[in-house]
Chains A and B, each alone.
Chain A
Amino acid sequence: GESVGLHLPTLSVQEGDNSIINCAYSNSASDYFIWYKQESGKGPQFIIDIRSNMDKRQGQRVTVLLNKTVKHLSLQIAATQPGDSAVYFCAENTGNQFYFGTGTSLTVIP
């Protein structure tokens, strides 16, 4: 079956450092890859997406990298802040199909 989002479950970083959160996927036919952030007690929040024909996309303090050769997706957060503490998970979209990973819990150490 299809799988996505083989994450490391936890990540701790010092405030001000850069964070890199990784995700692996199995479906090479996916159209889009998406990163979501979920804070405790809240619903997921869309962060950034990348189309399958791209290898890099930048947002505000975030960069997503897509390596289709090894089916790997990463989210880089620059100058990590305490407010970045949350669970981050990737998702892939193919047509009307969505598959979400289980997520990485990011803890920012002041």
Chain B
Amino acid sequence: DVKVTQSSRYLVKRTGEKVFLECVQDMDHENMFWYRQDPGLGLRLIYFSYDVKMKEKGDIPEGYSVSREKKERFSLILESASTNQTSMYLCASSLGRSLYEQYFGPGTRLTVT
């Protein structure tokens, strides 16, 4: 089974802090994704990566950056956390040829105070 793990289930940070969310997948998938999930809204794509050191902006990249130095690891960085970034963050991965068959991690619930 594909396993996607995220570094924390719950995280509380202060406004202005730099926040790192880590995601690791163990199935040698080429594609990795970061989403946020908010009540009443569908998942929204922040960034995705289709290869090491490659990244593409999603729908809502503002205030975020990403890093993919190794194939199995994709990091989401909040340079200066703000309260409107309080959300559930979900990481996913997929095989190169199957962009849409994504396997998700359990999520990190981030609260920015």
**Interface residue ranges, A against B (CB under 8 Å):** 4-5, 32, 34, 41-46, 49, 89, 91, 93, 96, 98-103
Contacts and interface: CB of A to CB of B under 8 A. Distances in A.
B101 A49 contact: yes
Interface of B is mostly: loop
* Top-7 shortest CB links A-B: A43-B104, A100-B42, A100-B43, A93-B100, A44-B104, A32-B100, A101-B42
Interface of A is mostly: strand
A46 B41 contact: no
A102 B41 contact: yes
B67 to A, nearest CB: 19
B42 A103 contact: yes
Contacts of B41: 102
B4 interface: yes
Contacts of B45: 98
A34 B105 contact: no
A103 to B, nearest CB: 7
Nearest to A92: B100
Contacts of A49: 100-101
A43 B6 CA distance: 11
A41 B100 contact: no
Nearest to A9: B40
B: interface residue count bin: 20 to 34
Contacts of A34: 100-101
B12 interface: no
A46 B40 CA distance: 20
18 contacts: A4-B42, A32-B100, A42-B107, A43-B90, A43-B107, A44-B43, A44-B92, A44-B102, A46-B101, A46-B102, A46-B103, A49-B101, A93-B100, A96-B99, A98-B43, A98-B45, A99-B42, A100-B42
Contact of B105 (A43, A99, A100, A101): A43
A96 B56 contact: yes
Nearest to B105: A43
B48 interface: yes
A93 B41 CA distance: 17
